[in-house]
Structure 1
Amino acid sequence: MNLKHQADMAALPTECPPETAKSEDIEVAYRFIKSDLVTEEDFLSHKEENKKYPPYLACQALAVSFFVTEEHARKVAENNQYLGDKKLVKGRITSECGKHRTKRGHINLWLCEDVDMKKVFLGE
């Protein structure tokens, strides 16, 4: 399995993705998107979007964020001005997407190189 940012991950001082990350299906996941229509751009990492992040979060900045429940996602959005104007969509993640780690209701997914995340997430 070749992950999308393999070269960047190798340059990090700690293992990325973490050893606890696994490739398994997640039947229900939630993601914030920019508009009413889901696009490929809705599945970019912080690094790909050139967003700022502290150095200690470099590994997470290579992952795409999802949430386990709608309730948790909305709760996080209440306290995050950046997410306030985004739309929440429901989809799925398959084992072929990459490696993921779930922590406190949040999913970090390190994508595989050739995955069409929009297609997989929407079940197309």
Structure 2
Amino acid sequence: MSDSGNNSNWGDHYPVSCPPSSAKSKDVDPVYRLTLNNPPTDEDFHSHKEANRRYPPEKECEACAISVFTDFEQIQKAKKKIALFKNRGHIIKGQITKETGVVSEPDHKSHINWWVYSGVEVKRYFKDNT
């Protein structure tokens, strides 16, 4: 579903061939996201790259995606392990619709990379809390 190269659907910060061709457009409900604010702000939905967080150079495409989980227990475990969210983070519930972008298949911990189309207001697909 994704096009390699410079696709106008994606932000200027996306590298060539990102999102990967394996990413698919589909509905996923529910999904969970770690945020620092409740209610969440627009900044709570920035990718690592947009937020200028560190990431390995070989993970640049993944750093352009928004991380979500499909399993509530798995995101609770992640919250306890990630220092930034451990004591002051929130878990919010939302959904992905196929019109918003493309997603990776969930990994063994139910983590999904969500590459969001340019101009989509992600916050509106999430509730304030779970």
User: Which of the five TM-score ranges fits, normalised by the shorter chain?
Assistant: 0.7 to 0.9
- Paired residues, what number? 118
Q: Which residue of 1 aligns with 2:101?
A: 98
CA-to-partner distance for each residue in 1:21-42, whole Å, 9 max, x for gaps?
1110111000011122122111
Deviation at 1:6, TM superposition (A): 5.2
Check whether the contact 2:92–2:126 (CA below 8 A) recurs between aligned residues: no
Segments of 5+ residues of structure 1 without an aligned counterpart are none
Letter in 2 for 1:109: W
Q: Which residue of 2 aligns with 1:62?
A: 64
Deviation at 1:7, TM superposition (A): 5.6
Q: Could you tell me the TM-score, scaled by structure 1's length?
A: 0.86
Give the one of 3, 9, 22 matched to 1:3: 9
Secondary structure class of the residue paired with 2:74? helix
Secondary structure class of the residue paired with 1:9? coil
Distance 1:81 1:68 in 2: 21
Does structure 1 residue 108 correspond to structure 2 residue 113? yes
Check whether the contact 1:96–1:115 (CA below 8 A) recurs between aligned residues: no
Does structure 1 residue 45 correspond to structure 2 residue 47? yes
Distance 1:64 1:7 in 2: 14
Check whether the contact 1:93–1:121 (CA below 8 A) recurs between aligned residues: no
Check whether the contact 1:3–1:110 (CA below 8 A) recurs between aligned residues: no
Secondary structure class of the residue paired with 2:83? coil
Task: Decide which structure has greater helix share.
Answer: 1
- Residues 78-87 or 50-59, more deviating: 78-87
Distance 1:8 1:115 in 2: 15
Secondary structure class of the residue paired with 1:82? helix
Matches within 5 A, 1:109-124: 109-122=114-127
Secondary structure class of the residue paired with 1:96? coil
Q: State the percentage of identical aligned residues.
A: 35
